[in-house]
Amino acid sequence: MEKSAHSGRPYLFGWIALIVLTALSFGLSRLHLGGAATPVALGIAGAKVAVVGLVFMHLARARAALQLVALTSVVFIALLVLGVAGDVSFR
């Protein structure tokens, strides 16, 4: 059995991207963005999800079926969050 050599470079870049996004999220939380605070925070969280999924879960090199399962899961979670947010906002 041959072992393929894996470079640590993608993991390092993924980790740096997560650190930068976390610092950005923390910095923007100190600003008073008003109504834009939630969409901005959700956008940053979505970028973090993309980094974790593509780099650390290897979805960038995964088969299409596995990518579809991961995407479907994210879509259903988003629908659940939107449904709860809609319910809370109309009470």
Q: Give the pLDDT confidence score for residue 2 in this predicted structure.
A: 57
User: 0.85 exceeded by the pTM?
Assistant: no
Span 59-74, average pLDDT? 86
Q: Give the pLDDT confidence score for residue 85 in this predicted structure.
A: 83
Over the stretch 25-56, which tens digit does the pLDDT of each residue have? 999 989 888 888 888 998 999 999 999 988 98
65 vs 67: CA distance, rounded Å: 5
Q: Give the pLDDT confidence score for residue 15 in this predicted structure.
A: 94
Q: Give the pLDDT confidence score for residue 4 in this predicted structure.
A: 62
State the average pLDDT for the chain. 87
**Helix 9-30 crosses helix 37-51 at what angle (to 10 degrees)?**
170
The upper half-sphere exposure of residue 51, i.e. CA atoms within 13 Å in the direction of its Cβ, equals 19
CA-to-CA dists, residue 47 to 6, 84, 85, 91, angstroms: 24, 22, 21, 31
